[in-house]
Every structure is written in structure tokens, then in C-alpha cells.
């Protein structure tokens, strides 16, 4: 009597393929969100500038380099961001 082997390769393909497909869909969705809302990239850039300003202010500029941000500029950057986008950075 010969018994048929269970089709295990199909199950393995589903176990591996499902997370990969979900990840690809999430990546595509995030790219579409940025494509349809161009202001998101500009907001991200301004937020990173504010973050770098505060980081430099806390730690000071790197050795042998001049300061990129002046005193009080971080507060001004945050104020301008709030006025422009109506949200906190």
C-alpha cells in the first residue's frame, strides 16, 4: 500500500509568502501616501531641521566646526512650523 505524501511545500509557500506580500503592500501604501500629499516630505524636512537644531544646542557643535544654528533659532523654527502647518513639530 502506498500512501500519498501531504503537500507540505504549498503550506511553506503560504507561510513565507504571506508576510512578504503584506510587507510589500505596506511599502506601496506608504509611498502612495507620500506621493499624494507632497507637503508630508516638506514637513518631515522641517521637523528634522528642528530636531538637529535642538541636538546641536544640547551637545554643542562638532569639534572644529562652526555652529550651524544661532541662539534662539530653534524656538523660531518651531514657531514658524506651528504657524505654517498648524501642528506641533
CA 7 vs CA 3, 13, 49, 71, 72: distances in Å: 12, 11, 55, 68, 68
Please, are residues 47 and 81 in contact by the beta-carbon 8 Å criterion?
A: yes
Which pLDDT tens digit goes with each residue over 49-84?
999 999 988 887 777 778 888 888 999 999 999 999
Which pLDDT tens digit goes with each residue over 34-54?
777 778 888 989 999 999 999
Q: Which value, in Å, is the radius of gyration of the alpha carbons in the chain?
A: 25
**So what's the pLDDT on residue 21?**
94
User: Using 50, 70 and 90 to split pLDDT, how confident is the model at 3?
Assistant: low
Residue 66 φ/ψ, nearest 5 degrees: -75, 160
Amino acid at each position: 500500500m502506498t500512501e500519498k505524501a501531504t503537500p507540505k511545500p504549498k503550506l511553506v509557500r503560504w507561510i513565507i509568502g504571506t508576510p512578504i506580500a503584506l510587507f510589500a503592500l505596506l511599502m506601496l501604501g506608504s509611498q502612495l501616501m507620500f506621493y499624494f500629499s507632497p507637503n508630508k516630505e516638506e514637513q518631515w524636512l522641517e521637523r528634522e531641521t528642528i530636531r538637529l537644531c535642538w541636538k546641536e544646542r544640547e551637545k554643542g557643535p562638532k569639534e572644529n566646526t562652526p555652529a550651524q544654528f544661532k541662539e534662539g533659532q530653534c524656538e523660531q523654527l518651531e514657531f514658524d512650523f506651528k504657524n505654517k502647518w498648524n501642528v506641533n513639530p
